Amino acid sequence: MRQDDVSLDNCLKCSDCNTVCPMLAAHPGYPGPKHLGPELERLRREGLPCDSEWLEYCLGCHRCDLACPNQVNVSELIAAAKARHRKPFIRQVRDFWFARPGLLGKILSVAPAVTNAVLAAGAARFGMSRIMRITSERSFPPYAKPDLPSPQASLRASERLLFFPGCAIRYNQPELAKTVVALLQRNGFAPEISTAGCCGVPALANGDGQEARRRARSNVEAMDQAVENGATIVTACPSCGHMLKSGLAELLEDDPELEKRAKRIARHTYDLAELLMAQSDAGKLNTKFRKTDLQLAYHAPCHQLSQGIGRPWYHLLRQIPGVQIEDLDAGCCGMSGTFGFKEEKYPVSMAVGQRLFERIHEAAPKMVASECATCRMQIEHGAKVQAIHPAEVLLQAYER
């Protein structure tokens, strides 16, 4: 946050942000985004003590930003306050690791079989819950060797594309990277896989502003050259996409040169479905679909909405003959990345998701499609329905 940021002055106290906050709806004690953002920042600039444990409860969904009629950087103000917030030691240690899924992934994917066995063991989970305050209610996503497809630059490329996989795909679901690459190839692209690391969203969400800025800087450096050479960046994780599109530049505001490069990256970043939808609009989408009888429900992740690109996956999946898809439109799932894993936050995470779980039961789909890895975790855990990335549905629908 720049020192001369005066966006807090824009707040008219109208509470539009509060009306869309999923945490406020689920937790009556939560003071809401208006208070935690612009209101506290104003008092902080007076020099008053303004720390609040409630800052840890912000899900980072950015719905407040979308609702604000007056361009207040609500969630950015909250994130800055979160980064200054002081936590008890155990939560500090836990959140240090939660802030670094890249580092964690590197270590845990060395011997995935061992990792997965330990992460599933009851005794280990009991200890983690007691000591590290990580809930034993949930299962961890399994880890895998980061076995990503190698760059495929030699194909007859129509455009140069760089796929930014993000940690969940790299370390937990590397087969999804193959799906994405295949899907792009089916549509005439020749994607390469970026070596850039964690996007920084988990760091920001866990109140580690410094790590988030480190991630932002390193990612700008990793992708800047390619973008300057005309490459387009594609994400399949909406949180990574959100970060590349607006978070990077915000984090690097203090360095005008880096900020400029971050903005260039932002201009060249597309969500996978956004890109395919653009192809579709231009009549260039490969539509050689088989008839696929499938009853689906679609959940739009918050960070998909915050990108302001509509719901491209929903519209893409509807083009597959035989697919019946219902847009659940039931708000935030409550998982918010690592948030739902925190022992003390688990109940409220589930409470936030309740509305979505109920909608899923009403819709009774065979599967739920959603492009966010942690939304899928929450849906499988809370609604007991299989959840998949919509890219998989689309790829499977193509004729062999």
Partner 1 sequence: MESTQVVIIGGGATGAGILWDLSLRGIKAVLLEQKDLANGATGRCHGLLHSGGRYVVKDIEAARECLAENQFVKKIAPHCVHDVGGLFVQYPQDDPAFFRQWEEAARTVGLASQHLSAEETLDLEPHLPKNILGAFTCPDAHVDVFQLAQSNIESAVSRGGAFRTYSEVTAIGITDGRVRSVSYRDTRNGDEFQIGCDMVINASGGWAQKVASLAGVDVPVRCDKGSLLIFNHNLVSRVVNRCRKPGDADILVPAGPVCVLGTSSITVPTPDGLTADPDEIQHLLGLGAELIPVLAEARVLRIFSGARPLYVPKSAGAAGGREISRGFALLDHETLDHVKGFVSIVGGKLTTYRLMAEVTANLVAAKLGVNEPCRTTETPLRQTIDETVLSRARKLLPAQAASIAERRLGPNLARIVAAIERRPELAEIICECEQVTLAELEFVLGDETLVPIRALTDVGRRTRLGFGPCQGTFCGYKAMLAGYRSHRWSAAEASTEFEHYLDARWKGQSFVSHGKQVEQLYLSHDLFGVTYNFHDQNGQ
Task: Kindly indicate which of the ranges 5-13, 106-114, 142-150, 226-234 contains the residues binding partner 1, using the contact rule CB under 8 A.
Answer: 5-13
The residue (of 14 and 90) whose beta carbon lies closer to partner 1 is 14
Percent helix, strand and coil across the chain, each to the nearest 5: 55, 10, 35
- Judged by phi (left if over 0) then psi (alpha if -120 to 50, else beta), residue 202 lies in alpha
The residue (of 221 and 254) whose beta carbon lies closer to partner 1 is 254
Supply the minimum distance, in Å, between the C-beta of residue 80 and partner 1. Answer: 15
257 binds partner 1 (CB under 8 A): no
Supply the minimum distance, in Å, between the C-beta of residue 47 and partner 1. Answer: 7
Binding mask 75-114 for partner 1 (x = CB under 8 A): ----------------------------------------
Q: From CA 26, how far away is CA 372, in angstroms rounded?
A: 21
Supply the minimum distance, in Å, between the C-beta of residue 79 and partner 1. Answer: 19
The residue (of 11 and 328) whose beta carbon lies closer to partner 1 is 11
The residue (of 34 and 261) whose beta carbon lies closer to partner 1 is 34
Supply the minimum distance, in Å, between the C-beta of residue 33 and partner 1. Answer: 12
For 137, the token pair is 């209610």
Residue 271 pairs in a beta bridge with 235
Residues 359 to 388 in contact with partner 1, rule: CB under 8 A: none
Q: From CA 328, how far away is CA 239, in angstroms rounded?
A: 20
Q: Judged by CB under 8 A, how many residues of this single chain contact partner 1? A: 28
Binding mask 271-300 for partner 1 (x = CB under 8 A): ------------------------------
Q: From CA 165, how far away is CA 241, in angstroms rounded?
A: 10
Q: From CA 177, how far away is CA 147, in angstroms rounded?
A: 9
256 binds partner 1 (CB under 8 A): no
Q: From CA 17, how far away is CA 387, in angstroms rounded?
A: 30
Supply the minimum distance, in Å, between the C-beta of residue 207 and partner 1. Answer: 17
13 binds partner 1 (CB under 8 A): yes
Q: In what order do the strands lie in the sheet with 160-164?
A: 190-193, 160-164, 232-235, 269-271
Residues 23 to 82 in contact with partner 1, rule: CB under 8 A: 31, 34-35, 39-52, 70
The residue (of 48 and 123) whose beta carbon lies closer to partner 1 is 48
Task: Please report how the helices 272-281 and 390-397 are oriented relative to each other, as an axis angle in degrees rounded to 10.
Answer: 40
Q: What angle do CA 263, 258, 220 make, to 5 degrees?
A: 75
Of 67, 58, 77, give the one whose Cα is nearest residue 20: 67
Residues that bind partner 1 (CB under 8 A): 3-4, 6, 8-14, 31, 34-35, 39-52, 70
